Amino acid sequence: MSEKNAVLVSLNDDVQEIIQLADTMNYGIVKTFIQHKKLPDTNSYIGPGKVDEIKKFIDEQEKDSVNLVIVDGELKPSQWFTLEKKLKLDVYDRIRLILAIFEERADRKEAKLQVKLAQLQYERPFVRELIHRAKAGEHPGFMAGGEYQVDDYYEMIKKQMRKIREDLEKIRDEREIRRRHRHTSGFYLVSLAGYTNAGKSSLLNLLVGEKVKVDGKLFSTLSTTTRKINDKLFPILLTDTVGFIQSLPAWVIDAFHSTLEELALADVVLLVADASENRDIIEKKLRVSLKELIEIGVVSPVIIVFNKIDLLSKEEIQDRISYLHETGLLENKKIITISVKNRENLDMLLDLIHDSLPHMSKLKLKLPINEKTHSFISWIYEKARVSDVSYNDYITISVDCNTEIKDKIISKCNELDGCII
């Protein structure tokens, strides 16, 4: 996709993330306008003088060389209308830009439904503003392309949202059935979380030995991806989830509820952070991520995984960890530093996951030696951790297992004329 050009508008100098978001949509920023204000201007977000300055810049450029105005903030409908009318260009605020990225990245039915629900939720107040303007005698353009009269479109939005919520509820019910089956089959559920582009998908690829899509842009993962970890000790399913980002409204997060609930229901959550970033950026992103985990309802153990340590010296790593300890963010948290690229400390990570798994049951079985017993032992190896096995006149096997599967093991043992010792 060829690069398009955009003008960026912000109320502060911290524009690194919005530039990354623009790059993800293949927009190059040709000019950044900073209007230092604590609060946005009521009418135009940035004030009339700055609007005139931006308008002058756009008019001086070659025709169609600037395609978009990006505002690093959340616009009210009246502010959006004023900016589009004066600048004669499409204006995207931060939320609309993120939703455009979501739309481009959604590749499965559930993700597409979630994105569409969020977009409709976003559009509602803007459509109300257009209805108001039209009744006042103005003839505004329309973000949906003008296929419908704005009042008809507003009613269609409400109907579509109801239908999408019903469809997502069905998908959620189906996922719950699958999740219950996995638990009763002896699997532990571990979920990956973290700020977008922290390296979650790369870590999943390494732990499961597969190739899930990874690229250097934001929000490469919108749908959940679940795979079995290549781990001889425990049957663990690892799920990758959509990345966090700051200042997302609650209704956007709510649209992704059925995906994010994988975090709330996991036995362990791995919160992945990019250790190579400046320590204040790591702190900010960790705060956003931990806040989101609390709001989603995560109560399971959280392991903070600092990735990309191959880009740092030992002194730099220690400096970051010490700084984060001082902020209080790491209090009562298990932490580990890894490098997915160099496969560094992955065994330590697996050990930490094992130590954090809940409800471990220990069993010692005494079994007769026959063909059915050997099949049973193979089944145990798939469903639990075998810590010891010995062969004499009978087979003795020691097992650590999920409590969900404990009764199944005991029942099968009794069926084979074995016993628990």
Q: Flag whether pLDDT at 312 surpasses 50.
A: yes
Q: How far is CA 116 from CA 19, 74, 93, 243, 294, in A?
A: 24, 19, 17, 18, 25
CB 58 within 8 A of CB 30: no
Q: What is the pLDDT of residue 142?
A: 45
Q: What is the pLDDT of residue 320?
A: 96
Contacts of 330 (CB under 8 A, 6+ apart): 304, 321, 324
Averaged confidence pLDDT in the chain: 85
Percent of the chain with pLDDT over 70: 89
pLDDT digits (tens, 9 = 90+) for 284-299: 999 989 988 888 888 8
Q: Flag whether pLDDT at 186 surpasses 80.
A: no
Contacts of 69 (CB under 8 A, 6+ apart): 6, 7, 9, 54, 83, 87, 89, 90, 91, 92
Q: Flag whether pLDDT at 349 surpasses 70.
A: yes
Q: Flag whether pLDDT at 260 surpasses 50.
A: yes
CA 418 to chain centre: 46
Q: What is the pLDDT of residue 306?
A: 97
- Tell me which amino acid residue 25 is: M
Q: What is the pLDDT of residue 235?
A: 79
pLDDT digits (tens, 9 = 90+) for 39-74: 999 999 999 999 999 999 999 998 889 999 999 999
Look up the pTM and report it: 0.71
Percent of the chain with pLDDT over 90: 43
Which of the two residues, 265 and 8, has the higher pLDDT score? 8
pLDDT digits (tens, 9 = 90+) for 202-253: 898 888 876 655 555 555 555 567 888 866 667 788 888 877 888 777 777 7
Q: What is the pLDDT of residue 292?
A: 87
Q: What is the pLDDT of residue 144?
A: 43
Taken as a whole, the chain contains a residue count of 421
**Phi, psi for residue 360 in degrees, rounded to 5:** -75, 135
Let me know the angle formed at the C-alpha of 103 by 98 and 107, rounded to the nearest 5 degrees. 130
**What order of strands is seen across the sheet that includes strand 360-367?**
385-391, 395-402, 360-367, 419-420
The predicted model gives 77-104 an average pLDDT of 92
Beta pairing partners, 389 = 397
Q: Could you tell me the pLDDT band of residue 146, with boundaries at 50, 70 and 90?
A: very low
pLDDT digits (tens, 9 = 90+) for 105-144: 777 788 888 889 989 989 888 888 877 777 766 655 544 4
The predicted model gives 145-157 an average pLDDT of 66
* DSSP SS3 for 363: strand
CB 139 within 8 A of CB 113: no
